[in-house]
């Protein structure tokens, strides 16, 4: 669905896969973090099986990013990507006080709002 | 996993179910919205099968809330809850310019960060 709002991922009908990444940013290193985050989204978009990504982070530093993929294999390949793996290591040790990642199979989806 | 950071849901081992709700807030009506959002989280916590919830919204008004449930049946029961249904109607017409909702089965999960 294309809402004209680029924050929403335009996804096909389910089933597809989702990676929900919740994180708390550590203080500091904002410029390097922002640059890496932007780069990772650019890189993810080029991966086979990438469908879309949505992301939100509040002023308290807690954020949720959900990326969408055609298959578990596509997620595994992105996970194994060398540059992505290197950036994740920095995330674990520098950028996040804590994170949780959940891999899920999307079974149903629907949307709405004033734009409809 | 209990990280001591209340923004993270403390969840059992998978499988379980997730409802990922992405939304763009319309301008205005902030006090009523905040009150309803707080009330819905309180109410959700009392529902059978509720496991936890995580939420983030950026200064641009785009937000993601992921709630976690033991089963699809628990999600359906929460969806059918009368007060929740009434609040959703206001969400569609007043609070959100657009939203997307995805229901997914979580197959794998892991976490990390400096707290470990």
**Whole-structure pTM value:** 0.95
pLDDT one-digit tens code per residue, A25-40: 998 889 999 999 999 9
ipTM: 0.94
- Which residues, 6 or more positions from B6, have their beta carbon under 8 angstroms from its beta carbon? none
pLDDT one-digit tens code per residue, A56-115: 999 999 999 999 999 999 999 999 999 999 999 999 999 999 999 999 999 999 998 776
Distance from CA of B54 to the nearest CA of A (A): 8
Going across the sheet that includes B50-57, the strands are A50-57, A62-69, A16-25, A96-112, B96-112, B16-25, B62-69, B50-57
* Chain A partners within 8 Å of B106 (Cβ): 102-104
Q: What is the DSSP-derived secondary structure letter of residue A79?
A: H
Q: Which of A56, A96, A103 to mutate to test the interface with B (most CBs of B within 10 A)?
A: A56
* B24/A5 touch (CB, cutoff 8 Å), yes or no: yes
* B98/A106 touch (CB, cutoff 8 Å), yes or no: no
Give the largest CA-CA distance in chain A. 43
Q: Which of B65, B98, B109 to mutate to test the interface with A (most CBs of A within 10 A)?
A: B98
Counted across chains A and B, CB pairs separated by less than 8 A come out at 154
Distance from CA of B72 to the nearest CA of A (A): 10
pLDDT one-digit tens code per residue, B77-111: 999 999 999 999 999 999 999 999 999 999 999 99
């Amino acid at each position: 669905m294309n809402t004209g709002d680029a924050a929403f991922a335009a996804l096909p009908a389910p089933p597809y896969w989702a990676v929900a990444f919740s994180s708390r940013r550590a203080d500091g290193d904002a410029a390097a973090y922002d640059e890496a985050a932007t780069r990772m989204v650019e890189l993810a978009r080029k991966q086979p099986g990438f469908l879309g990504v949505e992301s939100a982070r509040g002023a308290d530093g807690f954020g949720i990013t959900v990326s969408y993929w055609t298959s578990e294999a596509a997620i595994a390949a992105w996970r194994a990507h060398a540059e992505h793996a290197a950036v994740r290591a920095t995330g674990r040790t520098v950028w996040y006080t804590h994170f949780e990642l959940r891999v899920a199979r999307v079974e149903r989806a629907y949307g709405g709002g004033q734009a409809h």
